[in-house]
Structure formats: structure tokens, C-alpha cells
Amino acid sequence: MAAVIAGTREREATALSTEELIARVVGLSQDMRAHVIGAVDRMQDINRGIHLLSMNARIEAARAGAAGAGFGVVGQELTRLSDNMREAATSLIRESQARGADLDAVLGLLNDDVVTSRLCDLAHGAIDIVDRNLYERSCDVRWWATEPAVARALTDGSPEALRHASQRLGQILASYTVYADLVIADTRGQVICNGRPSRYHSVGAQVERTEWFRSAMATRTGREFGFQSVHGSDLVGEQSVLVYSCAVRDPDAPHRPPLGVLGILFKWPALGQTVVEQLPLSEAERARTRACIVDADGRILADTGNERSQVLDFPERQALFRGRRGVVSTRVGGRPVIVCHAASPGYETYRTGWHALLLREAASRAA
């Protein structure tokens, strides 16, 4: 039975966060101090009884005269014992309170250090997942821009060439479900075909002013790619997407000006929101922790909070963002919080330049 109980307690302990375990230690420390005070109170009760015995012995010794000298000695010893016990009790209370306060302070510092270090680690893990995943997107667009059917759609432009290109894009989409759609735009910025024509009627749309089209057209080689950050795209019914793009070049003359641009529309919420919502936090931690991914300007890209603001800002943000990771106590939305930060670490040749933030209520030390 003892082994079963021990095993149950071990499972309960591992189910708790380090922060919650420290809170338990603080609670045990406080309970121990209360127990000491209770024990001292009982000692004081006993001491009062001893003191009464001392007084009675001394009174009887005075009455008995010379015959009561022995009672006088006993009375004096009892008085001395009572005084010593009173001093010991007072000292025990004073020392237990002082040591308890020191222990609480140490545990508080340990708690802050453990909690903030763990939250910074979680923030780093979150933004690292984003970087690694989006690196693959940058590879996808550069690879698919070399697809012969894509180049033929731009050079030939016949209904057959466009239909074949659309089919090839559709085959890619069938295997890569992370994309809302793939589109091909000519050099004037007009979409000439897409991979899901039955779902999104984007053919004929003008994208010449979009960031993803302009940045792709400005590239010099197929190793470069264009990009547009999180936005609602009318090409896919205003879904929130990231767009990666690459200039399509003549495979026989890759150094000539682009033939057009391939754009891949990535479903951002499926990655960003999922990452922040699935951080390994306990239910108690999740209730008082807000997780966000923001860009370099603090624009919120993913968020577990129910805030309506589009920018996460606080006085120390720019200084915090200059470091790879860090912690700051500040106020966000008028509430005191601890902000744990990790910057985009980058993966291979790719780096978003974004930041992951975990905001913990400043009163997290409470048990």
C-alpha cells in the first residue's frame, strides 16, 4: 500500500509545474511556522503552570521558616526554569519568523527565475517552430517556380497551357494541405491561373501593387523569393495568409527578366494560432498566461488573448526586442505583467525576424 501511495504522489508531483511545486513548498513552510507558533503557545501554557508552582513553593518555604528551606531552593529553580523556558520560546518564535521570511524570499526568487526561464524557453520553442516551418515554405515556392508547366503558362498563354498549369498546381495543393491556393501572375500583375479555380475565382485579379508580387519581381535570381506578411487576401476569400512568391524565369535563359510570378498562399492560422494555443502549460498556468507572436513592430500575428488591439506595445518593447531573449516587468493594457521574450532564431538561411512573447500576470507568485 505504501508503494502505491508513493507512486500516486510521484505522479501527482510530475503533473504539477515547477512553479506549482515551489508554491507547495512555500505553503509547507508557512504551515511549519504556524505549527511552531502553536507549539510555543503550548510551551507558554506549561510555563505558566511551572511559574505558579514556583510561586507556591516559595510561599510555602516562607511559611515553614527554616524547615522550608528546601522548598525555597525548589522554588528558585522552578523560577529559573520558567525564565529560561520563556526566553527560549521567545527566541524560537523570533528565529522561526526570521528564517521563514528568508526562506520565503529565497523561494520567491527561485520561483521567479524558474518561471521566467521556462517561459522564455517555451517562447523560443514556439518561434523556432514557426521559423522552421516557414523555411519550408520559402523552399517550396522556389522549387515550384521551376515547374515547366508554370513557365509554359506564362510563355504560351493558350487555354490548354493555362489548364495544364492549373492542374499541376492543383496536384501540388492535394499533397500540401497547408496552402489555401497557388496563383500565377504575369509581369503586369494579372493572375492568369490558380490551383483551385472551382473554389477561388482569382483569375483576372490584379496583384501588381501587392508586396509579394513587387518583391518577387525585384529579385535577380531563382535563389531569392518575395514575401508578404499576415493579411487577409481577397484571392482566397479574405482568409488570413502569408504569401511567398518567386519570379518565374525562362529555364533556358534564367538571367533574363522574369516571365511572371508564382505566389503560394499559406494558411497562417493553422500554424501561428496552433503554436501559441498548444504550448505545454498546465490549466492553472494557461489561465493566467497570454501567448503571442508579433512582428518587429509589435503587430500581433497570433494571440491566445481576447484582446482587440492589433499591436502589443509597452515602454520596454524596443529594448527587449534587441536581445535574443529576456524578461521585463511592465504594464500591458493597464495590468502589471511579466513579459518573457524570445526572438526568431532563424533556420538554415531563413529567419522571420518575429518574436514570441508570453505574458504572465505579475501576481503569479501567489500560492
| Domain-embedded: residue 65 | yes
Q: Give the pairing of strands 179-186 and 300-303.
A: unpaired
Which residue reads 492568369 in cell numbers? 192
| Domain-embedded: residue 4 | no
55 grid coordinates? 510561586
- What H or E segment, with its residue span, contains residue 184? strand 179-186
pTM reported for the whole predicted model: 0.73
Structural domain of 315? 280-361
Q: Are residues 149 and 267 in the same domain?
A: yes
Into how many domains does the chain fold? 3
Q: Are residues 285 and 266 in the same domain?
A: no
Q: Are residues 285 and 264 in the same domain?
A: no
Q: Are residues 162 and 263 in the same domain?
A: yes
Q: How many CB atoms lie within 10 A of CB 229?
A: 16
| Domain-embedded: residue 139 | no
Q: Are residues 182 and 203 in the same domain?
A: yes
pLDDT in tens, the chain (367 residues): 334 334 433 443 344 566 666 677 767 767 776 776 776 677 776 767 666 776 776 676 667 666 655 666 666 776 777 677 777 777 777 777 767 666 666 666 556 667 888 899 999 999 999 999 999 999 999 999 999 999 999 999 999 999 999 999 999 999 999 999 999 999 999 999 999 999 999 999 999 999 999 999 999 999 999 999 999 999 999 999 999 999 999 888 878 899 999 999 999 999 999 999 999 998 888 999 999 999 999 999 999 998 878 999 999 999 999 999 999 999 998 899 999 999 999 999 999 999 999 999 886 444 3
Q: Are residues 172 and 228 in the same domain?
A: yes
Put the strands of the sheet holding 239-248 in their side by side order.
191-194, 179-186, 260-267, 239-248, 226-233
89 grid coordinates? 520560546
Q: Are residues 267 and 296 in the same domain?
A: no
Q: Are residues 247 and 284 in the same domain?
A: no
| Domain-embedded: residue 323 | yes
| Domain-embedded: residue 176 | yes
* DSSP string across 261-323: EEEEEEEHHHHHHHHHHT----HHHHHTEEEEEE-TT-BEEEESS----SB---TTHHHHHTS
Q: Are residues 156 and 108 in the same domain?
A: no
Cα–Cα distances (Å) from 123 to 131, 196, 261, 291, 327, in that order, read 12, 36, 35, 8, 11
